Amino acid sequence: MQIIVAGIAGIALTAYVLMGGADYGGGVWDLLASGPRRAQQRELIAHAIGPIWEANHVWLILIVVLLFTCFPPAFAQLSTVLHIPLTLLLIGIVLRGSAFTFRAYDATHSAVQERWGMIFAIASVLAPVLLGVIVGAIASNGVGNAAATLAESGVEFVPVFVAPWLNAFTLSVGAMTLVLVAFLAATYLTVEAAADRALQDDFRRRAIAAALVLPVIAYGTLLAAEPLAPRVQKMLLHSAVAGPIHLAAMIAGLGAVLALWARRFKLARVAAGGLVVLIIWGWLFAQFPFLIPPTLTIFDAAAPPAILRAFIIAIAVGAGVLIPSLWYLYGVFRRSSG
What is the binding site for other proteins (CB under 8 A)? Answer: 51-52, 54-55, 57-58, 60-62, 64-66, 68-70, 72-73, 75-80, 83, 86-87, 90-91, 93-95, 97-98, 100-102, 105-108, 150, 154-155, 157, 161, 303-304, 306-307, 310-311, 314-315, 317-318, 321-322, 325-326, 328-329, 332-333, 335-336
How far is residue 125's CA from residue 279's CA, in Å, rounded to a whole number?
A: 20
Shortest distance (Å) from residue 322 CB to other proteins: 6
Nearer to other proteins, 160 or 186 (CB): 160
CB of 234 to other proteins, least distance (A): 31
DSSP, res 222: H
| Nearest CA-CA partner of 77 in 8, 22, 126, 150 | 150
Nearer to other proteins by Cβ, of 67 and 224: the residue is 67
From the CB of 71, what's the least distance to other proteins, in Å? 8
**Sequence-ordered strand ranges (E) for the chain:** 290-292, 296-297
Amino acid code (one letter) for 156: E
User: Shortest distance, CB of residue 53 to other proteins, whole angstroms?
Assistant: 8
Closest Cα partner for 279 from 188, 176, 186?
A: 176
Whether the CB-CB separation of 174 and 127 falls below 8 Å is answered with no
For other proteins, give the closer residue by CB, 240 or 306. Answer: 306
- Which C-beta is closer to other proteins: that of 155 or that of 240? 155
* Least Cβ distance, residue 290 to other proteins (angstroms): 18
Tell me how far apart the alpha carbons of residues 131 and 21 are, in angstroms, rounded to a whole number. Answer: 10
- Residues near 305 by Cβ (< 8 Å), separated by ≥ 6? 1
Three-state secondary-structure class, residue 290: strand
Spatial contact of 133 and 165, defined as CB atoms under 8 Å apart: yes
Is the CB of 79 or the CB of 295 nearer to other proteins? 79
The CA distance from 34 to 31, in Å, is 9
Inter-residue long-range contacts of 323-327, CB under 8 Å, 24+ positions, other chains counted? 326/55
Residue (129 or 235) nearer to other proteins, CB: 129
Whether the ω angle into residue 294 lies within 30 degrees of 0, i.e. cis, is: yes
Residue 225 C-beta: closest distance to other proteins, Å: 27
Smallest separation (angstroms) from other proteins to the CB of 37: 25
DSSP 3-state of 296: strand
Residue number with CB closer to other proteins (46 or 76): 76
